[in-house]
Amino acid sequence: MPELLTVGNWKMNTTVPEAVALALSVRRDLVDKPVPDVGVVLCPPYLSLPSVSESMEGSPVMLGAQNAFYEPKGAFTGEISPAMLAGLCEFIIIGHSERRILLRESHRVINRKIKAVLESGIRPILCVGETLEQRRSGSAARVVARQIASGLNGVSDVRELVVAYEPVWAIGTGLAATPAVVIDIVKNAIRTQIHKMYGASMADGLPVLYGGSVNPDNVSEFLEDPSIHGTLVGGVSLIPDQFLKIVRLTSEIKG
């Protein structure tokens, strides 16, 4: 079975001291009551990564960045490269819908970022998901399959890849998708596309997360399906006891 992950995406929240305090509370709890079968990944803002990384040393908590640029260095004002993140984090979220929509990141940009992240030896978490309009018009599976195909265009090795299915209409709305919707897209868009591009064993071995208004009350219904290996948690990841409940439920249900 692919690895189990609970990923907390803090988005543009927390000052540096707040980030360290939040990460330390997660660390303390996981050291007191270890959950060895679930990988716990915190994704603070870039600015906090060095301090949080220092305060997580020697703990089971892993770190992720929320984005990275595709060039290693140069005249790209305001950008951060995967090379700069090496040593600070093990994962980088790429293609989050907030970046696709608000920052207008194209399929091509996301593809270049995925390649750059893989080249740096950090693991990409590729986010895919349709808008409400696309779902209503019946094109959800096609949209997600295209995001996978274009995001991975020219990528030969996906062993380090994680995919997060995050329907745009479920993010930050309090309206999570239903398990039936998630299972359908994971099977018929994500794994089918990976199967086409990389074969059956890659498709079966790919860790796939669900994200979109995940909380301790609704997480079990997603985790009960064998095709889901964890969650990408936004708002609730800022509330340590709720986030930790999700981590523990992941272990209880899937571990």
Measured from the CB of residue 162, what is the shortest distance to ligand PGA in angstroms?
A: 13
In the complex, what is the shortest distance from the CB of residue 189 to ligand PGA, in angstroms, rounded to a whole number? 18
* Closest residue to ligand PGA: CB criterion: 234
The CA distance from 93 to 63, in Å, is 11
Looking at beta carbons only, is 193 or 213 nearer to ligand PGA? Answer: 213
**92 or 203: CB nearest ligand PGA:** 92
**Rounded CA gap, 142 and 188, in Å?**
9
- Phi/psi region, residue 8 (left: phi>0; alpha: psi -120 to 50; beta: rest), is beta
Q: How far is the CB of 71 from ligand PGA (least distance, A)?
A: 25
Closest CA to 213 of 188, 195, 231, 193: 231
Nearer to ligand PGA, 64 or 234 (CB): 234
Where along the sequence are the contacts to ligand PGA (CB under 6 A)? 9, 166, 171-172, 211-214, 232-236
> 105, 130, 166, 229: which is the annotated catalytic residue?
166
**Distance between CA atoms of residues 24 and 153, nearest Å:** 38
Alpha helix locations (H) across the chain? 16-32, 49-56, 82-85, 97-102, 107-120, 132-136, 140-151, 179-185, 192-198, 200-205, 219-223, 240-254
User: Do 49 and 61 contact (CB within 8 A), yes or no?
Assistant: no
Residue 210 Cβ vs ligand PGA, minimum distance, rounded to whole Å = 10
Q: How far is the CB of 164 from ligand PGA (least distance, A)?
A: 7
The active-site residue out of 79, 96, 221, 252 is 96
Nearer to ligand PGA, 9 or 48 (CB): 9
195 tagged catalytic: no
Q: What values do phi and psi take at 231, rounded to 5?
A: -140, 155
Q: Which is nearer to ligand PGA, 71 or 90 (CB)?
A: 90
| Active site annotation includes 96 | yes
Number of Cβ within a 10 Å radius of residue 231: 30
**Catalytic positions, written as ranges:** 96, 166
